[in-house]
Amino acid sequence: MSNILIGVSGGIAAYKTPALARIFIKAGHSVRFMMTEEAARFIGPLTLAAVSGRRVSFSGGEEDSPVSHIELAKWADLCLVAPATANTIGKYASGVADSPFLSVLLALGCPVAFAPAMNCNMLSHPAVRSNIERIKSWGAHIIEPDEGDLACGDTGKGRMKDPEKIADAVLNILGERPVESVAPEMSAGDTEPETPEADGDKVKDILEEFGGRTLEEYLDNDETEEESLEGFAAGRPLEGLKILVTAGPTREYIDPVRYISNRSSGKMGYAVAHAALDMGADVTLVSGETGLVSRVPDTVIAVSGRDMAEAVEKRVSEYDILIMAAAVADYAPESAAPEKIKKEGERLSLELVKTKDILKEASLNKKEGQIFIGFAAETEDLEKNALKKLFEKNLDIIVANDVSRKDIGFDSDFNDVKLFFRDGKVSETGKRSKKDIAGIIVTEGAILAGGGK
């Protein structure tokens, strides 16, 4: 069996790499990841570490493996760069080694394959074409991208090939059996892997394949790479961690039959609560009225902002992590009219008063070691507004998304968010399933909280 080194450079297609690793691992190969700093903006090093069972090299993140670039290059029987950006291909074609990632590429003594992913105009640019031809002439394998809708909104050639097709090509280079025989549920004819949701499921499958170790064991484990991460992500890595999650909209009643609310469906918050539950955390979900089915045994329905504030205030001090995904009304009638308001006069004015900012209030009594995560739904100035909320509400992470986009957010099963951390780190998830994003949010929160017990 072979040692396959997957080099992830900074493209949105990075989200497909866990699925790729799974195919190789299922086929009995060993996988290691190295990633550029740019790639860490698209996929968390921890996700890749969990999938491969080994620390990731060169992301610039905490999870960096201390394995030197020469050791890594010697270890590999084949190196696959996926996604391969125009920048990485260009630098490799020019023999540039201005990062450990590129140094590994130049130090390799094994076959190397590139799966390019970029905008169609970039791909057809003569500079990029000639770089690709150049590296091909040295023996590099190019796994040509497909035509289709691109992340930037254009349509054309530039989409990274689907994981099973890339895996097919790689196993071919290694002279091995085709993918179908090792991963029948991901055969080439299967259209499911097209969707990010399907990829999210694959990631989950992968995580489930490693058993045993808790997140804390992983975090405490200093024995560098090899088996150090193996298995932490499966089982119940967050056992012992108490997580309070809020979800959904609030309803602010005007009278017994009318209320003011918002477009929140609750899907993101429910996905977060379920992800935490599935990882073994002790979860309480405080939810507005959503119509969704909660799998969390301790689910509390809080209809109005006031109900939600009460429910959170009462509990928050006992939790390690608070994740406020609820869309709480900012203004509400001071009190609801006791009887249905009758139709009289041509106009009706409603007077609304500011509600309590639950997160801000909770942060005033935030205990040492507690981790608070907020959401920022924005239609403009995403970064500026998100950072303002991060500091004003004394949060550790703020998850920001652009709610003006029609393809994500509110009622969608997908989202595309940026995580702003207190220390200035920013990571982008790219468009993917809410389930997948929920796993990332919970994992990042758990790492800050120091893992399960």
With CA atoms as reference, report the closest residue to 57 among 44, 43, 68. 68
Instruction: Determine, following the binding rule CB under 6 A, whether residue 271 of this chain makes contact with ligand CTP.
Output: no
Q: Give every CB contact of residue 420 below 8 A, 6+ residues apart in sequence.
A: 383, 386, 387, 390, 397, 398, 400, 426
List C-alpha distances in Å: 285 to 41, 263, 295, 299, 301: 29, 19, 10, 5, 8
Q: Is 79 a catalytic residue?
A: no
Q: Report the distance separating Cα 35 and Cα 8, nearest Å.
A: 5
Residue from the set 326, 408, 440, 441 that interacts with ligand CTP by CB under 6 A: 326
Rounded to the nearest whole angstrom, what is the least distance from the CB of residue 357 to ligand CTP in the complex? 4
Told to check if 438 binds ligand CTP by CB under 6 A, we report no
- Per-residue x/- track, 300-319, ligand CTP (CB under 6 A): -----x--------------
Q: Which residue has the tokens 């200093």?
A: 222
Least distance between ligand CTP and beta carbon 365 (Å): 14
Phi-psi region of 159 (alpha: psi -120 to 50; beta: other; left: phi over 0): beta
The footprint of ligand CTP on this chain (CB under 6 A) covers a number of residues equal to 14
Is residue 359 a contact point for ligand CTP (CB under 6 A)? Answer: yes
Q: Does 324 bind ligand CTP (CB under 6 A)?
A: yes
Q: Please, what sign has the CA dihedral across residues 163, 83, 237, 288?
A: negative
Judged by CB under 6 A, which stretch of 27-35, 196-204, 354-362, 426-434 contacts ligand CTP? 354-362
Residues 330-349 that bind ligand CTP (CB under 6 A): 330
Residue selected from 58, 270, 319, 375 as contacting ligand CTP according to rule CB under 6 A? 375
Instruction: Collect all residues with Cβ–Cβ distance below 8 Å to 297 and sequence separation of at least 6.
Output: none
CB of 373 to ligand CTP, least distance (A): 8
At its nearest, how many Å lie between ligand CTP and the CB of residue 328? 4
CB atoms within 10 A of CB 223: 7
CA 410 from chain center: how many Å?
17
**Residue nearer to ligand CTP on the CB measure, 158 or 305:** 305
Is residue 285 within the footprint of ligand CTP (CB under 6 A)?
no
- Chain-centre distance for alpha carbon 344: 52
Question: Which of 54, 366, 389, 432 contacts ligand CTP by CB under 6 A?
Answer: 389
Active site residues: 152
- Per CB under 6 A, residues contacting ligand CTP are 305, 324, 326, 328, 330, 355, 357-359, 374-377, 389
